[in-house]
Structure 1
Amino acid sequence: MYRIRAFRAIDDQESCKRFAEGHLNVLKEYGVTKVTTAKTDWFQNPGVYVVLVESEDGTEVYGGERIHLANEHSRLPIEDAVSIVDTRIFDLVAKNKEGVTGELCGLWNSKTIAGRGVSVLLTKIGVALANLLRMDSIFVLCAPYTVEMCQTAGFNIEDSIGNQG
């Protein structure tokens, strides 16, 4: 069995470390070595919320995701990632800061639970958490194979940046 819990990053540093280590290990398994998730500055960001999938006793971490609320102290991870190819991301995020906006990011699950629908569940939990946080909009950077999953959860493709989104 698994348990899923959400917490504010600054309130549980140990679980943030476990999240980051698990995410990094999964990325390494797939040959990805250069990622912004390797940064840990989000551990200290009061606008970051973490969802963690773990064993019932909390000894194993199987997956998770983060929501970063946009603020004046730090950029969203999507801004750092997308600005490499399209700096218009900064204006797009700034426009959405007129309300409460942020990013759903760092979604991962281990191969141990692959194929069990955890990614879909986490995406929907992220949308529900965004609602609880009273967010007016939320960004998510998708791999081509996750676009449909994100659209099913209510996300739209933003085609004003990049190569048609």
Structure 2
Amino acid sequence: MHSTSNFSEPVGSNIRIRVFKAPNDPDTCVRFVEGHQRLLEIHYGIAKVTSGGAEWTTHENTIVIVAENLEGTKVYGGARVQLADARVPLPIETAIGKYDSSIHTMANKGSAEICGLWNSREVAGLGIGSIFMARVGIAICDQLPVDKVFFLCAPVTVRIGKRIGGEVETALGDNGIFYYPKDDFVATSMIIRDPLTLNKAEPVEHERIMSLRQNPIQQKNESGPKGSLEVDYQLEINLR
């Protein structure tokens, strides 16, 4: 989960966080890809990461999470939950498979990955590109055939992974550590082994995630380090 930010106009006080199957909304997928790639290039000089490619936009087993304006015309950030299948490898497989081939065996049927987290500067400090997206990513797993969830974390987001019930997957790499997407960037492989019960999640996060599962359509005032937002959650996935 490598969260990034960008310079733009200030966001309003209301946003919507929405989920959908990637092929069901190609226009929003384009905005997602363009925003994510622009941030990686501007801030890190990274031309491409495995979670940033466009192949997932037509993938039936990729669920997209976006934070957008209420009109649905501007994407402020997002993430994806990609299910393992025989068609498209999980981004973590492509990212670290050349360093540790055991990821291909571990990412079997029933596996998923929360990937592609990003946010624009107008919501930086509000949690949109990190804890909100991670929380929603694991919350929607009860609607999916998932029994374990992987994610790659930058050093600053490892603590977020632990908050939602993750642990470092020490069986991969050097006790879970890889250098990705460049040699001077450290990535930590993490896993949630019980995405439905979340026994290792912090109590506050566990309560918030379960609230989103019980009421996937709700409006809530959410606070971050630098302010608060009224969030309209639309988390029911149309799986058709």
Q: TM-score range by the shorter chain?
A: over 0.9
Q: Is residue 155 from structure 1 mapped to residue 187 from structure 2 by the alignment? A: no
Any idea what the Cα deviations from partners look like across 1:19-61, whole Å, max 9, x if unmatched? 1111111212212223124421111111000001011112221
Equivalent residue, structure 1, for 2:73: 59
Equivalent position amino acid for 1:40 in 2: A
CA distance in 2, matches of 1:90, 1:70: 10
Q: Is residue 33 from structure 1 mapped to residue 47 from structure 2 by the alignment? A: yes
Equivalent residue, structure 1, for 2:104: 90
Q: Which among 30, 41, 47 is matched to residue 17 of structure 1? A: 30
**Number of aligned residue pairs:** 161
The structure number with the bigger radius of gyration is 2
Q: Percent identity?
A: 39
TM-score, scaled to structure 2: 0.64
* Cα drift, residue 160 of structure 1: 0.3
* Cα drift, residue 132 of structure 1: 2.0
Equivalent residue, structure 2, for 1:43: 57
Equivalent residue, structure 2, for 1:111: 121
SS at 1:160's partner residue?
coil
Higher-helix-fraction structure: 1
Equivalent position amino acid for 1:155 in 2: G
CA distance in 1, matches of 2:35, 2:106: 31
List 4+ stretches of structure 1 deviating above 3 A.
none
Any idea what the Cα deviations from partners look like across 1:69-112, whole Å, max 9, x if unmatched? 11112211110001132112112213xx2xx2111100111111
Structure 1 residues not aligned, in runs of 5+: none
Equivalent position amino acid for 1:164 in 2: N
Q: RMSD in angstroms over aligned alpha carbons?
A: 1.2
Equivalent residue, structure 1, for 2:155: 144
